Structure 1
Amino acid sequence: MTTKKHLVLLLMSLSFLVTVKGDVYCEIKESFAHYPKLDIICKNISIEQNEVINVKGQVQNKIDKIQLISVSAEVQSSTLQNFPEAQQLLILDSTIKSFSLQSSITTLNVSNSILPTITSEALKGKDLLSVNFMSNYGLEFEKGAFKHLNALRELTIVNQTIPRIQRHLFTGLVNLRYLCLIGNNIEEIDDDAFLDLSSLERLFLDVNPIKTFSANLRGLTNLERLSLSNTNLKRLNFDVLEPVKSLTSIGLPRQLLKTINVTDLVTSIPDLRMVGIDSMELQCPDVISFMGELKKKEVRVMPVKIEDIWYHYPDIDKPSVCS
């Protein structure tokens, strides 16, 4: 009898150690685009491990987006389990203590937040089509961080600090079409950094202190646009571009225009139709001369607006008055 009593007491004491999932209640907001939809907005709250986002009352329409704004949270797939139909997850101005996403979310936007290092274990959403990291504090990416995202079409990493783009950072992104790496303080790019991106169509490396560009682009057989405006490039290696037969548009910094022979440029990129040049410098005599040579080759100039690029690092050469 005594033994049974002790066993009951032991089980009761252990029951307090078992973590029970609790609900964290958020607001619902109706929004309209092409059709009425509902957003869940969690603002100024704390979401602890094993807690689940919920709303009070019945949800009449489909939930499109879950927004975490100014929250302190442990974000796991189970955090979102009450709304499996949600397509978008937005994290803004938040402190994320742990992060692991394996849900059916198709779009992930994270900005102005504090997160742990992004690893391949953190990103396993097989349905993810678009991922955006912008202006997060001290965010780092592990090699192979995106290797499980085979369906991903768009990846934007802006205003982070990534001094070097390493070989295996983008491993697994076989269906990626769009890669934007603007304003990340990139100084060095490994030769084979983009080797796995066979489906890539657009690559933006603007506003980075890149001095040389020798990346192996042979595997980028679908690349149509490469932008290197507002970088510190002083020389362009035409041998790097020659294998990319699909290239039709390239963005260039002004200081490079002084060293480029337009005939060589057009010869290396036979289907070239457009060159991006900073709009602040279009009135400079050397730029006007370069534009005239382009016009003879039936290549048009696309103004690149500085204000449209989100951030400028102090060690990037800035456009200056014509001199």
Structure 2
Amino acid sequence: MFTVQVFSIKMTTKKHLLLLLMSVLPVVTPKRDVYCETEVHYTYYPTSDIICRNINIQRNEAIDLKDHSQRTIVDKIQLISVTADVQSSTLQNFPAAQQLLIFDSTIKSFSLQSNITTLNVSNSIFPKITSDSLKGKDLLSVTFMSNYDLEFEKGAFKQLQALRELIIVNQTIPRIQRHLFTGLVNLRYLCLIASNIQEIDEDAFLDLSRLDRLYLDANPIKTFSTNLCALTHLDRLSLSNTNLKKLNFDVLGPVKSLSSVGLPRQLLKTINVTDLVTKIPDLRVVGIDFMELQCPDVISFMDELKKKEVRVMPIKIEDIWYHHRDIDKPSMC
């Protein structure tokens, strides 16, 4: 009996000591992997899309595959209907991935600094875009489409010197301010379609000296007097389906490389085709909304353009409307 009692006392003492240590030492939560699916594609060599669907991804959690034998070259990572904190560590198991697609998700925080070259965010709740959230030195293309109440800070893109393409569609940016696009020194393509733009600061595009194409279609813009002098490489400017009633072509005059313009129908009644061609000597194409090409005043305008050897290009703004119903439906004759 005595021996048993001693043994019991020793066991009790060890147990209490263990409990005491557990109460004193900090609890360390190890980094966890969040497992996703894979979809393999075969072209010249097998590549994979990593698809994370209907899961939660918290800080310091990295996405991965359960079956490591399925590993191939990962091209695209898709986050679909997820709730997530997205950081560089989230993607660390796939350093060769080139594309990140976020769709129909709730992103609580976002800070990207990886090898991703293409970022596409759509139909999601997304935090305010700041210069701290977008730091991808390799980013070449960024798209934001139909996200809920998405905001852009001044200078949000200033760390994306390599960016070539920026697409912002069906967002709400009532005013394009001077420093919004600061730092985009290599941007070639800027699409701001259907983003409720009502006002554009005179110097809004001054930093975009390499810009080739600028699309401002389907916005309630009433005046356009933006300084385009710095856009020495601009080839296409589209303002179709806007509320412009008058356009001073002296604004476009300094852009010697301009060869294509998109115009709203109501503007055609105020334009003298001879003046248009004179002010834009390299003009080769005029874009007009596809749904209005049969309107009598548009037909008359097109006939005048043909005499000047300028062709008409139909712009299918209605395609955007069908996908995003909060855009005003294009006008008819």
TM-score normalised by the chain length of structure 1: 0.93
For 1:114, give the aligned amino acid.
Answer: I
Are residues 1:181 and 2:192 paired?
Answer: yes
Correspondence 1:21 to 2:31? yes
Match for residue 138 of structure 2? 127
What aligned pairs does 1:152-171 form with structure 2 within 5 A after superposition? 152-171=163-182
Matched residues in 1 for 2:121 and 2:223: separation? 30
- How far off its partner does 1:311 sit? 3.4
2:4 aligned partner = none
Q: 8 Å contact 1:181–1:204 — kept in the other structure?
A: yes
Cα–Cα, structure 1 residues 255 and 113, in superposed 2: closer, same or farther, change >3 Å?
same
Q: Is the 8 A contact 2:128 2:151 kept in 1?
A: yes
Contact 1:177 1:199 in 2 (8 A): yes
AA aligned opposite 1:139: L
Pairwise CA distance, 1:57: 2.6
- SS of 2:297's partner is helix
Tell me, yes or no, if structure 1 residue 306 matches structure 2 residue 317. Answer: yes
> Structure 2: any 5+ residue segments left out of the alignment?
1-15
Cross-structure match for 1:227: 238
Alignment match of 1:52 (pick from 42, 62, 67): 62
For residues 108-143 of structure 1, give each alpha carbon's deviation from its aligned partner in whole angstroms, at most 9, with x where no partner exists.
000000011010000000000000000000100100
Which of the numbers 47, 50, 62 marks the counterpart of 2:73? 62
Count of residue pairs brought into register by the alignment: 314
Q: Tell me the alpha carbon deviations over residues 121-179 of structure 1, each in whole angstroms, 9 at most, x when there is no partner.
A: 00000000000000000100100000000000000000000000011010000100100
Q: Which of 91, 99, 104 is the matching residue for 1:80?
A: 91
Would the aligned equivalents of 1:38 and 1:64 in 2 still touch at CA under 8 Å? yes
Whichever residue aligns with residue 30 of structure 1, its letter is V
Amino-acid identity (%) = 75
Q: Once the 2 structures are TM-superposed, how far is the Cα of residue 19 of structure 1 from its aligned partner?
A: 4.4
CA distance in 2, matches of 1:12, 1:199: 61
- How far the C-alpha of 1:308 sits from its partner, in A, is 2.6
Q: Return the match for 1:205 from 177, 192, 216.
A: 216
Task: Give runs of aligned pairs for residues 236-315 of structure 1, distance below 5 A.
Answer: 236-309=247-320, 310-311=323-324, 313=326
Q: Which amino acid aligns with 2:53?
A: K
2:331 is matched with 319
How far 1:320 sits from its partner (Å)? 2.0
Deviations 1:73-100 (A, max 9, x none): 0000111011100000000000000000
The answer (yes or no) to whether the contact 1:143–1:169 under 8 Å persists in 2 is yes
Distance 1:214 1:228, change over 3 A: same
CA distance in 1, matches of 2:315, 2:158: 32
Unaligned runs of 5+ in 1: none
- Larger Rg, first or second structure (1 or 2): 2
C-alpha separation between the residues in 1 aligned to 2:260 and 2:325? 23
Residues 106-121 of structure 1: matches in 2 within 5 Å? 106-121=117-132
Whole-angstrom distance in 1 between the partners of 2:319 and 2:43: 24
Q: Deviations over 1:257-292 (max 9, x none)?
A: 000111111111100000001111111111111111
Bigger RCO (CA 8 Å, 6+ sep): 1
Specify the SS of the correspondent of 1:240.
Answer: coil
Paired with 2:293 and 2:146, the residues of 1 have a C-alpha distance of 29
TM-score under structure 2 normalisation? Answer: 0.90
Whether the aligned pair in 2 keeps the contact of 1:207 and 1:313 (CA below 8 Å) is no
1:14 is displaced (CA, Å) by: 4.5
- CA-atom RMSD, angstroms? 1.8
